[in-house]
Structure 1
């Protein structure tokens, strides 16, 4: 089985594939209200068929090299995930995103997982710009963007219609040279500790 450790607490990052549809649906049911505060993922995954279909769409994106989806597991239980919602390798641009059920919030899991996939996109796939698009009300996700060393590019006013209301969306990004410089600074800081 393929898994990447996210630290000493036993958290792991794994591909989230269609054969995990039942587990994905159970996870979504546990976190449906919390996850759905800012993103439509729980609205798209409502039963086993839609869960399988959602994961299959990402399997097809992975095969076409236009997106990826990964789950975050703690103690053998799926608690969240990170993804590349879009990925255009030819133009060097990808949009990363995340979700998490409430039991896993506040532990740095999304930040650690996002670092892994952004590092892969920059170093292995040659992506130059990774974007993070987030509702202005989603303070936790904005905090992740900051911890990842991203810069706020601007606000798309009332650009996201969701659950009967139009929401402002912030666009954050990190460029490959900034990502590498941040990683070197972090490694140097750890070496001096």
Structure 2
């Protein structure tokens, strides 16, 4: 298994695989309230079976090159993650996302981890456009999109449904030439 350092704070990025279902569930239990404010992950992973099924879904996406999921560990404790919810390599598009438990907020972990996976998608997989869809109320995630150099493409009014309520979704993106230019600078 590989592990990529995210800096000097003992943080690493690793694949989040089905055999880590119990660890993923414990992490979700620690962060359920915060994670569930804006995304459905906290509602989807509620017991060991659903945790394993969720991670298995991403293992199958990885096998078919249609998605990926990675965990962020600090001092060997899973505290968050980043993913490609979708990847369409022939079209050159991918949708990235993230989550964190409260202990990891405000440390730049998601921004650093997202940079790693976006760089991989652009440079290794030939992805041309990486999107970041986010609830307009999720200011922390919007701040990450900005730090990643993404551009706000627009708002999909009342396009998302979270916990039975309609929400506006902002679409942010970065194109491969923009990404390469920012990385070089």
The answer, yes or no, to whether TM exceeds 0.5 is yes
Q: Match for residue 168 of structure 1?
A: 168
Aligned equivalent of 1:149: 149
Shift of 1:129: 0.2
1:161 counterpart SS class: strand
In the TM superposition, what whole-angstrom CA distance separates every residue of 1:96-155 from its partner, at most 9, and x where no partner exists?
Answer: 000000100000000000000000000000000000000000000000000000000000
Could you tell me how far apart the structure 1 residues matched to 2:98 and 2:162 are? 17
Residue of structure 1 equivalent to 2:38? 38
Q: Distance in 2 between matches of 1:53 and 1:169?
A: 26
Shift in Å at residue 161 of structure 1? 1.1
Deviation for aligned residue 1:164: 2.0
**1:183 Cα shift?**
0.5
> 5+ unaligned residues in a row in structure 2: which ranges?
none
Q: Per the alignment, in what secondary structure is the counterpart of residue 83 of structure 2?
A: strand
Give 1:190's aligned residue.
none
Large movers: runs of 4+ above 2 Å: none
User: What are the ranges of 5 or more consecutive residues in structure 1 without an aligned counterpart?
Assistant: 186-193
- Tell me, in whole angstroms, the C-alpha distance in 1 between the residues paired with 2:142 and 2:95: 14
Q: Aligned pair count?
A: 185
**Is the partner of 1:174 in helix, strand or coil?**
strand
Aligned CA-pair RMSD: 0.4
Q: TM-score, normalised by structure 1?
A: 0.95
Question: Quick check: which has more Rg, 1 or 2?
Answer: 1
Question: Which residue in the other structure is 2:72 paired with?
Answer: 72
